[in-house]
């Protein structure tokens, strides 16, 4: 699909080109595109400030012969015409059928479908948001002050709580989207959309306080999906019997935890460094769990904690773990086009999920797990393979193989060329006997019609006959 759209976009641009001498372009093939993707992933491993430096020979740079795979001109051509959808089919803003994600819609649908089909989630899962870095002009660009990436495109992610496999992603396109206009609110509707089709599987879903709400938890419980998360007690429709208002931290010196229940909902109010509210349909109200904390005098004391705390700490970080893994060798580069940044995120998500499938597959349980770096290097090698779009450097081969040279059936016939080129036989004799070059410097216009080698053929020297009849013609 990407190869087709890239070739289509290149044809469209060249048809509109007004330059009298446009740069030559030939359609990209699947093999060449795989090598292109391998180079992109390699550039995430070896970061250089400028793209041209990967082909530079003036500096002592760490390169893995990347210039031998593809020329800089060809790489820049593919990068320029790289496309994911047919721009001629895009609907204008404000028209019926307008899709703000049209540029990435095809690849997004294909990838999310494959993510969903290739992996069965475990019991514990989590939903959180991720950020795709982008500072350009975009209507649905977001600012999140608490994220490491503060400016960019917000992505809602459903991931496995244990292995951090990304099951589903949903890109937020602004307040005018159908999510924001839903009566349940944005956060609750996002969770229900991501969980669509996963009902009645008895998953345990872990959320942060942005998503947690009593109405959402009741709806999930009706679908046999259990949920746990930190809560905001001032949220709309939060049950009064579960909210504890007006508490001061001083009142928690003796009592560290209070538990309330309301139907299937259980509220845990716990004092750590500050008051934390948990809402859960997963955990029971009983259990003697405690955590170690440092008192003011420096001694370690045991403090009671809610039964949901250990599970929340273990399984809530699925999305954060995937983001951390994707940030190690991120392939994204500066671009004014937002959809290229989205594609970089999708490519990283594919690599991350492929790594999870490799190391946690049933057939690999007894093998030593490779590191993420080793996996990416193996992936790069597989994508590039033996591909090389560059021709061999230097002069063309001047001598023919022995089996062809001595085969009379090949019809080695002399022809006259325009240029004078040094005779192959004379050059070989010079290198063998070490005579002065001036005494053996003979150029000829005579070529072989089959081998295209230059040979002397005149009344003084018949190198043509000697070359095609004697195995060792230089002695």
Pick from 140, 219, 202, 217: which is nearest to 172 by CA? 140
Torsion of CA 64, 69, 74, 78, to 10 degrees: -80
Contact 315, 204 (CB under 8 A): yes
Write the DSSP assignment of 384-432 as a string of letters.
HTT---SPPPSSPP-S--HHHHT-GGG---EEEEEEEEE-HHHHHHHHH
* Helix (H) or strand (E) run with residue 3 in it: helix 2-16
Going from the C-alpha of 472 to that of each of 402, 406, 448, 469, 475, the distances in angstroms are 10, 11, 18, 9, 6
Q: Which residues pair with 7 in a beta bridge?
A: none
The average pLDDT across 162-169 equals 92
Q: What is the structure's pLDDT at 397?
A: 45
Least trusted range by pLDDT, from 278-282, 344-348, 436-440, 457-461: 436-440
Contact 173, 101 (CB under 8 A): yes
Q: What is the structure's pLDDT at 68?
A: 77
Query: Measured between alpha carbons, how far is 89 from 373 in angstroms, rounded to an integer?
Result: 40
Considering only residues 439 and 453, tell me which one the structure prediction assigns the higher pLDDT. Answer: 453
Contact 374, 399 (CB under 8 A): no
Q: What is the structure's pLDDT at 22?
A: 63
Q: What is the largest CA-CA distance in the chain?
A: 116
Strands 204-207 and 124-133: parallel
Q: What is the structure's pLDDT at 309?
A: 86
Q: What is the structure's pLDDT at 156?
A: 94
Residue identified by tokens 């109405």 is 215
The average pLDDT across 262-279 equals 81
The average pLDDT across 118-140 equals 91
pLDDT of 243 strictly over 70? no
Q: What is the structure's pLDDT at 356?
A: 92
301 by DSSP, 3-state: which?
A: strand
Q: Which of 38-47, 58-67, 247-256, 343-352 has the highest mean pLDDT?
A: 343-352
Q: What is the structure's pLDDT at 177?
A: 62
Contacts of 190-196 with C-beta under 8 Å, sequence gap 24+, read: 190/127, 190/156, 191/127, 191/216, 191/220, 192/216, 192/219, 194/127, 194/156, 194/158, 194/168, 194/170, 195/158, 195/220, 195/223, 195/225
Considering only residues 333 and 293, tell me which one the structure prediction assigns the higher pLDDT. Answer: 333
The average pLDDT across 169-197 equals 81
% residues pLDDT > 70 (the chain): 84
Considering only residues 409 and 226, tell me which one the structure prediction assigns the higher pLDDT. Answer: 226
Q: What is the structure's pLDDT at 131?
A: 92
Q: Which of 80-84, 368-372, 392-396 has the highest mean pLDDT?
A: 80-84
pLDDT of 113 strictly over 60? yes
Q: What is the structure's pLDDT at 401?
A: 63
Query: Measured between alpha carbons, how far is 306 from 256 in angstroms, rounded to an integer?
Result: 10
Q: What is the mean pLDDT of the chain?
A: 82
Q: What is the structure's pLDDT at 115?
A: 92
Query: Measured between alpha carbons, how far is 330 from 168 in angstroms, rounded to an integer?
Result: 20
pLDDT of 219 strictly over 70? yes
How sure is the predictor about 251, in pLDDT bands with cuts at 50, 70 and 90? very low
pTM: 0.75
3-state per-residue secondary structure call for 36-49: HHHHHHHHHHCCCC
Query: Measured between alpha carbons, how far is 330 from 310 in angstroms, rounded to an integer?
Result: 31
Contact 230, 277 (CB under 8 A): yes
How sure is the predictor about 396, in pLDDT bands with cuts at 50, 70 and 90? very low
370 contacts: CB under 8 Å, gap ≥ 6: 358, 359, 378
């Amino acid at each position: 699909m990407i190869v087709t759209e890239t070739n289509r976009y290149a044809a469209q641009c060249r048809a509109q080109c007004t330059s009298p001498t446009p740069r030559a372009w030939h359609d990209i093939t699947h093999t060449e595109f795989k090598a292109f993707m391998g180079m992109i992933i390699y550039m995430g491993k070896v970061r250089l400030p400028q793209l041209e430096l990967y082909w530079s020979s003036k500096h002592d740079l760490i390169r893995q012969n990347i210039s031998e795979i593809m020329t800089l001109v060809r790489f820049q051509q593919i990068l320029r015409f790289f496309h994911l959808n047919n721009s001629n089919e895009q609907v204008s803003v404000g028209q019926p059928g307008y899709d703000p994600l049209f540029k990435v819609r095809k690849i997004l649908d294909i990838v999310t479908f494959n993510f969903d089909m290739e992996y069965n989630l475990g019991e514990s899962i989590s939903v959180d948001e991720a950020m795709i870095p982008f500072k350009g002009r975009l209507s649905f660009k977001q600012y999140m002050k608490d994220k490491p990436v503060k400016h960019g495109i917000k992505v809602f992610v459903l991931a496995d709580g244990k292995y951090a496999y990304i099951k589903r992603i949903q890109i937020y396109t602004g307040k005018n989207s159908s999510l924001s206009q839903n009566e349940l609110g944005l956060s609750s509707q996002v969770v229900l959309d991501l969980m669509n089709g996963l009902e009645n599987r008895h998953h345990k879903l872990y959320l942060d306080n942005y998503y947690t709400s009593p109405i959402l938890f009741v709806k999930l419980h009706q679908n046999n999906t259990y949920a746990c998360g930190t809560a905001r007690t001032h949220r709309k429709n939060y049950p009064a019997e579960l909210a504890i208002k007006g508490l001061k931290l001083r009142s928690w010196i003796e009592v560290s935890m209070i538990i309330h229940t309301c139907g299937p909902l259980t509220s845990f109010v716990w004092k750590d460094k500050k008051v934390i509210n948990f809402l859960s349909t997963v955990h029971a109200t009983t259990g003697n769990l405690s955590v170690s904390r440092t008192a003011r005098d420096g001694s370690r004391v045991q403090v009671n904690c809610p039964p949901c705390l250990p599970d929340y700490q273990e399984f809530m970080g699925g999305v954060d773990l995937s983001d951390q893994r994707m940030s190690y060798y991120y392939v994204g580069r500066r671009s004014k086009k937002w959809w290229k940044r989205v594609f970089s995120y999708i490519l990283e998500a594919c690599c991350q999920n492929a790594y999870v499938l490799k190391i946690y597959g049933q057939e690999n349980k007894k093998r030593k797990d490779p590191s993420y770096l080793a996996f990416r290097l193996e992936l790069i090698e597989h994508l590039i393979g033996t591909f090389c779009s560059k021709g061999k450097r230097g002069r063309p081969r001047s001598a023919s193989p022995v089996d062809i040279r001595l085969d009379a059936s090949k019809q080695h016939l002399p022809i006259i060329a325009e240029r004078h080129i040094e005779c192959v036989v004379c050059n070989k004799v010079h290198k063998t006997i070490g005579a002065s070059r001036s005494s053996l410097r003979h150029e000829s216009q005579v070529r072989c019609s089959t081998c295209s080698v230059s040979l002397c053929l005149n009344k003084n020297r018949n190198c043509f006959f000697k070359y095609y009849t004697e195995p060792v013609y230089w002695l």
